[in-house]
Amino acid sequence: MRRVVSVIVNNSSGVLARLSGLFARRSFNIESLTVGTTEDPTLSRVTLVVHGDVATTEQVIKQLYKLVDVLKVTDLTEEKMMARELMLIKVTVNHQTRQEINHLIEPFRASVVDVGRESITVQTTGDIEKNEALIDLLRPFGIKELARTGVTAMARSQQKVHPVQQLLT
Amino acid sequence: MTTKVKTRTMSEETHGSLKSKPIRGAEMIFESLEREKVEVIFGYPGGAALHIYDALYQTNMKHILARHEQGAIHMAEGYARVTGQPGVVIATSGPGATNLVTGLADAYMDSLPLVVLTGQVASGAIGTDAFQEADVLGITMPITKHNMQVRDLNDLPRMIKEAFYIATNGRKGPVLIDIPKDISGGEASYEYPEKVSLRGFKPTTVPNILQVRRMKEAVAQAKKPLILAGAGVLHAKGHQELVTYAEQAQVPVTHTLLGLGAMPAGHPQFLGMCGMHGTYTANMAIQEADLLISIGARFDDRVTGRLDQFAPHAKVIHIDVDPAEIGKNVPTEIPIVGDAKQTLSMLLEEDVVSAQSSEWMKQLNKWQETYPLWYEDDEATLKPQKVLETFSELTDGEAIVTTDVGQHQMWVAQYYQFKQPNRWVSSGGLGTMGFGFPSAIGAALSQPDHPVYAVVGDGGFQMNIQELATVKDYNIPVKTIVLNNGSLGMVRQWQEVFYEKRYSESMLNQNPDFAKVSESFGVKGLRVTTIKEFEEAITHSLNYDGPMVIDVAITPGENVFPMVSPGTALHEMVGISKGGM
């Protein structure tokens, strides 16, 4: 099962290597990993998408907590969360398909960010399932290139997840 | 009457008039080590560590010059294992640091507190493949509890403070600080922080009282309870609480390899070591128990055997200071995150209710009588088991004993009757050949008046034999017993049992004369071939003030039994009794 884990870490050099090294060493499979600073510049939020059962995820979380630079780990899978990734898809087009693709991507609220003679590049933001649905739709036209950022996520407001501020007190 | 002249320490200088004056990074290191009450450092100099060694020259700090960095770090491990205090190591960049890798991994696996300082090429040269440069931070990341590189000299005192704190709090472990040459040579004003503030490191040592009460209830209902005690009990200095609790709750105790000594050998409730070469009683007790209480043990595969058949009837209580160990290998009914001493103390405060274990105790005693450890004694050769039984008797089970890994290690664990805690120093998790002899040096430095013996194999001794120069240099009275069977004994045993006696590269046909090698280092060397000679050698060694090597010609081809083969369950052990193979 796919699980989304949010990790607050010290924003210092080597922390990402420590994190990814832990996964490699313990043979945990990471599907995606994104990282960026939080509202506190000394802290970064890492969002991990991992594959595994509850026990594996629990072990992942415990191992993450052992790292001195890790402050807070939250398994968001069962929470009400917002999970988004940005995706760029360069699709092959011709006179007939150009219009068709424009129509197709509309319900996805995707936008065309680059137009070429033989291809267009579509940008979309959404959860993993939505993005995969779009890929499936566009594949028959011919996908020349695909870039995904991996998921970044946080819990929705009503959920009692420790905000970064609480960690600092 | 002699007057002890007190030498002025650097600490006093900097506390006094020089306080506001900038000092070199290298001086900050020793100043900080003094404040951490470090008494001895193990190390080896080199280019990137020269500022550090130059500063050492003007301190009173005791430094032991090992002959190989691996020797130095194993010495620090031996020191840490016996004292519970961090062992401190200094090495230079590149090869100096990479030579520490085995010791770091060993200390990490066995949760030994170390603070390791490595020199690094100057900040500007980092990343250029400079002379003697290695990515020490990257290399040691998976085998240290934490590591750091100093980028700004002003951070150095804080980092040292943090290193000692992290190494010794919660589950202990090695911490490495990589120090570029320009940092150790640079100058800045020095201030040592009073406290550590690490927002990501707050280990839980006091257990949850509700979980402790759940345990109390589970024990009260148990008919076949068993405590499996590991090194965590010793690290927490909770051995006395363990004995008191086990006695009051009427629960028998078995140990992991590294837990030996927490419960005194010979205690009526002690079943001996469990696991791959554990006693029949200990292993069968695990398989029959209805309640298994693991204290400071991590269910290593050498303990559990086949996991899906491990302790099949038992409700499991797991007490560990490291939450990640709970549920990692064995599902746990009652998880208790806490230090072994704190948890046992809390249990004792709760008024202990005994288990209903009298029938169980009788059964265990019967097993112990029926299936004791055994070996075929013969007059013609020198049986290692006999050697170690004799050694145990002559030293009254009171010596500090270190080992490498292999057959000799298992024989010590089986036959040496450890009566006290913190006298058993062995490489458990990593199983490091070459560990025994140098770790004995560290142990001896921490306990100068206590007999310290390294029991090693002829293979392992040759992996760090150069440290004979160190014991001679400082006249460290380590006694080394080489159980010499002319082979890599445990490898040979496995080849005999699992590889149809194809002894591929396990015979050491060109062993040196260990007594003569020792003599050439200036260390007393003896060779013994009979049990009488061995007795004489040990008796002599107990009164001999200096290092000594006793080369013991044991029976070649002797194997360690009983044994749980890899992939089998604990109750499927073989070699339980004479002729039972």
* Confidence band, pLDDT 50/70/90 cuts, at residue B378: confident
Cβ(B241)–Cβ(B344) below 8 Å: yes
Q: What is the ipTM of this complex?
A: 0.88
B307-335 pLDDT per residue, tens: 999 999 999 999 999 999 999 999 999 99
Residue B181 annotated as catalytic? yes
For every residue of A33-63, DSSP letters joined together read EEEEE-SSTTEEEEEEEEE--HHHHHHHHHH
Contacts with A, B 145-164, CB within 8 Å: 145-146, 149
CA dihedral B298, B302, B304, B305 (to 10 degrees): 160
Q: What pLDDT score was predicted for residue A160?
A: 56
Q: What is the Cα Rg of chain A in Å?
A: 19
Cβ(B262)–Cβ(B239) below 8 Å: yes
Contacts with B, A 75-134, CB within 8 Å: none
Top pLDDT among A169 and A94 is at: A94
Mutation for B interface: A23, A53, A58, A66, most B CBs within 10 A: A66
Q: What pLDDT score was predicted for residue A162?
A: 55
| Token couple for B123 | 């900040």
Q: What pLDDT score was predicted for residue B369?
A: 96
> Which residues of B fall within a CB distance of 8 Å from A167?
199
Tell me the nearest-neighbour CA distance from A70 into chain B, angstroms: 5
> Which residues of B fall within a CB distance of 8 Å from A21?
141-142
- Name the nearest CA neighbour of B305 among B256, B270, B361: B256
**What element of type H or E holds A128?**
helix A128-138
Predicted confidence (pLDDT) at residue B489 exceeds the cutoff of 50: yes
Q: How much of chain B is helix, strand and coil, in % rounded to 5?
A: 40, 15, 45
Predicted confidence (pLDDT) at residue A164 exceeds the cutoff of 80: no
Residue with tokens 């060993």: B106
B425-462 pLDDT per residue, tens: 999 999 999 999 999 999 999 999 999 999 999 999 99
Rounded to whole angstroms, the Cα distance separating B394 from B3 reads: 39
Could B324 and A66 be called an inter-chain contact, meaning their C-beta atoms sit closer than 8 Å? Answer: yes
| Token couple for B455 | 């029991």
CA angle, corner A12, sides to A8 and A15, nearest 5? 65
Q: What pLDDT score was predicted for residue A13?
A: 86
A91-113 pLDDT per residue, tens: 999 999 999 999 999 999 999 99
The DSSP bridge pattern shows strands A70-75 and A30-37 to be unpaired
Residue B490 annotated as catalytic? yes
Catalytic residue among B10, B276, B346, B490: B490
B182-236 pLDDT per residue, tens: 999 999 999 999 999 999 999 999 999 999 999 999 999 999 999 999 999 999 9
Q: What pLDDT score was predicted for residue A169?
A: 46
Q: What pLDDT score was predicted for residue A27?
A: 86
Predicted confidence (pLDDT) at residue B237 exceeds the cutoff of 60: yes
Top pLDDT among B6 and B307 is at: B307
Q: Say if residue B45 is preceded by a cis peptide, omega within 30 of 0.
A: no
Q: Average model confidence (pLDDT) for chain A?
A: 91
Which class for B257: exposed (0-12), middle (13-18), buried (19 or more C-beta within 10 A)? buried
* Confidence band, pLDDT 50/70/90 cuts, at residue B14: very low
Residue B131 annotated as catalytic? yes
Cβ(B227)–Cβ(B270) below 8 Å: no
| Token couple for B209 | 């009282």
Q: What pLDDT score was predicted for residue A157?
A: 87
Cβ(B521)–Cβ(B485) below 8 Å: no
Tell me the nearest-neighbour CA distance from B432 into chain A, angstroms: 20
B83-102 pLDDT per residue, tens: 999 999 999 999 999 999 99
Q: What is the mean pLDDT of residues A136-160?
A: 91
Rounded to whole angstroms, the Cα distance separating B166 from B361 reads: 41
Cβ(B314)–Cβ(B328) below 8 Å: no
Cβ(B180)–Cβ(B121) below 8 Å: yes
* Confidence band, pLDDT 50/70/90 cuts, at residue B175: very high
Q: What pLDDT score was predicted for residue B6?
A: 39
Cβ(B271)–Cβ(B303) below 8 Å: no
User: Is the pTM higher than 0.90?
Assistant: yes
